[in-house]
């Protein structure tokens, strides 16, 4: 299985079926495209998504990176971890869209499994409208940050939902153009969560390891972030203006929640 990233935020819409392309070693004039999946933490036991196809669009054709059905628990892939969704040797050139086909989705909440309604557009293909140039002989990695918290929508009262719907929220970014923020919480037993905020938007979030205290806010576009950490006892930490540069990690060091 494989992973990937892209340089622009994705816009989702329905898509048409495309063509198949076997994943082989690139030849002259070709490159390798790899799609990686990551997630930020969410307040569910599991969010299982069944993908049936991952593809990219160039000129008038879809190039399939993976057409094997795979079910992924998004919550297994946070704190900087990634999963390779698909890869292929592809034609070099300018690509304008990425397409994800989703056959089914399930959320596990309070120990019970609930099927999620999947929009028809996700079954025929969700498109990430973006543009990226791939040079011959290169390997291009794109990371898809599938936001489980925002993608799961409840019907009925939030504390006693009648059902769940999937409304995919995905951030796509070129891996080479991102950095990260890391740290270690000295008192992590009360399940703290770290978030990186830019303006009024939470860009990513990560559960702090309850034993080691380690966390990593990964795949962040270069800029300054406010890092906030809070646990279930109300203890907190905040760091304004944490700088992120491409290809680098900004280490906060040891942190004590107060």
Residue 228: CATH number of its domain: 2.60.40.10
Q: Are residues 107 and 53 in the same domain?
A: yes
Please tell me whether residues 134 and 209 are part of one structural domain. no
pLDDT, residue 17, reads 29
User: In terms of domains, do 147 and 101 share one?
Assistant: yes
Residue 7 covered by a domain: no
62 pLDDT higher than 80: yes
**Do 171 and 197 share a domain, yes or no?**
no
* Domain match, 38 and 100 both: yes
Q: Are 4 and 53 in contact (CB under 8 A)?
A: no
Q: Which residues contact 194 (CB under 8 A, 6 or more apart)?
A: 183, 205, 206, 207, 208, 215, 217, 227, 228, 229
Q: What is the pTM of this model?
A: 0.80
- pLDDT band (50, 70, 90) for residue 237: very high
**Residue 18 placed within a domain:** no
For the chain, give the mean pLDDT. Answer: 87
Looking at the structure, tell me whether residues 70 and 128 fall in a common domain.
yes
Count of structural domains, the chain: 2
Same domain, 98 and 223: no
Q: What is the DSSP string of 131-199?
A: EEEE-TT-EEEEEEEE-HHHHEEEES-TTS-SEEEE---EEEEEGGG-EEEEEEESS-TT--EEEEEET
Q: What pLDDT shows up at residue 28?
A: 63
Are residues 133 and 231 both part of a single domain? Answer: no
Whether residues 190 and 235 share a domain: the answer is yes
Same domain, 169 and 213: no
Q: What is the pLDDT of residues 22-45, one digit of tens each?
A: 444 556 678 999 999 998 777 899
Last residue of a domain, one of 130, 161, 176: 176
| Confidence bin at 13 (pLDDT 50/70/90) | very low
User: Which of 160, 176, 192 represents a domain boundary (last residue)?
Assistant: 176
Residue 21 domain flag = no
Quick check: helix, strand or coil at residue 122? helix
Specify if 118 maps to a domain: yes
Q: pLDDT tens digits for 96-153?
A: 999 999 999 999 998 999 999 998 877 788 998 888 999 999 999 999 999 888 999 9
74-102: pLDDT as tens digits? 999 988 899 999 999 999 999 999 999 99
Could you tell me the residue range of the domain that residue 209 belongs to? 179-255
């Amino acid at each position: 299985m494989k992973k990937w990233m892209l340089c622009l935020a994705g816009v989702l819409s329905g898509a048409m079926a495309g063509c198949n392309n076997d994943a082989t070693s690139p030849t002259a004039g070709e490159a390798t495209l790899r799609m990686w999946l990551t997630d930020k933490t969410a307040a569910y036991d599991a969010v299982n998504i069944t993908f049936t196809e991952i593809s990219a669009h160039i000129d008038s054709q879809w190039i399939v990176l993976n057409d094997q059905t795979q079910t992924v628990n998004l919550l297994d892939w946070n704190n900087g971890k990634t999963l390779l969704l698909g890869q292929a040797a592809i034609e070099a050139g300018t690509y304008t869209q990425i397409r994800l086909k989703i056959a089914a989705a399930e959320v596990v909440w309070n120990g019970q499994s609930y099927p999620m309604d999947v929009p028809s557009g996700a079954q025929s293909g969700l498109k990430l409208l973006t543009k990226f140039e791939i040079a011959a002989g290169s390997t291009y990695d794109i990371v898809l940050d599938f936001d489980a918290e925002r993608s799961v929508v409840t019907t009925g009262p939030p504390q006693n939902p009648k059902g769940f719907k999937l409304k995919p929220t995905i951030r796509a970014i070129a891996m080479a153009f991102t950095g990260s923020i890391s740290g270690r919480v000295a008192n992590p037993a009360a399940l703290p969560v770290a978030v990186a905020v830019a303006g009024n938007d939470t860009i990513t979030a990560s559960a702090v390891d309850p034993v080691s205290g380690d966390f990593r806010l990964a795949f962040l576009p270069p800029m300054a972030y406010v890092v906030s950490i809070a646990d279930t006892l109300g203890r907190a930490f905040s760091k304004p203006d944490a700088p992120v540069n491409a290809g680098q990690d900004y280490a906060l060091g040891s942190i004590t929640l107060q």
